[in-house]
A and B are shown apart, each in its own frame.
Chain A
């Protein structure tokens, strides 16, 4: 069974440009999460999809970040325009649809974003 995949693995862009990150969850996983780790800091929650609906987007930093999940399958996270403080590693995770809070989240390898 394929795990969570993320694309690209690395991205280097200039301040003001746009970047789109993609996450493909494990097949059948209705829950999809985005997290971010800024250098030297802890991993922080960004948002949570249940199928195609945003369940919780309380962690999104500001309106420069837009997340979508087309048809409840893959998800994209767009940063427009990118700022220096957006640099970090963006993780995607998915889990079974039990909704209990105890289910295991399976993480992708992350996208390393560097904004210059």
Chain B
């Protein structure tokens, strides 16, 4: 069985500040991990994914995430927040050969001027 926990349903940062969105996972098999973003009235868009290659994964729009097996974590970071980063972010895990995703609860990111 797999599960994902995203700490903090709402995160608020100032423009230019560090963004840190937390994700912890549980998986009985080596996981594949994903971060998706959903902007208002749009579908989910892939930010980045970990597929057992490099543990530090760089994604689109300046985001990156580090896979830490010992901590079962895959936190998402961005050095400097932009107003356009305001959206809902989802962490997800897949550990089967058929790609069924298990999602966390989502984190709404608000960016203040």
Contacts and interface: CB of A to CB of B under 8 A. Distances in A.
Interface of A: 3-4, 31, 33, 35, 41-45, 48, 50, 55-56, 91, 93, 95, 99-110
Contact of A42 (B44, B96, B97, B105): B105
Interface residues of B, number: 28
Interface of B: 4, 32, 34, 36, 41-46, 49, 51-52, 90, 92, 94-106
A67 to B, nearest CB: 14
Nearest to B36: A107
Contacts, number: 70
A33 B42 CA distance: 17
B42 A101 contact: no
A101 B99 contact: yes
A44 B103 contact: yes
Nearest to A43: B103
Given A42-B104, A42-B106, A101-B94, A107 B99 contact: no
B98 A48 contact: yes
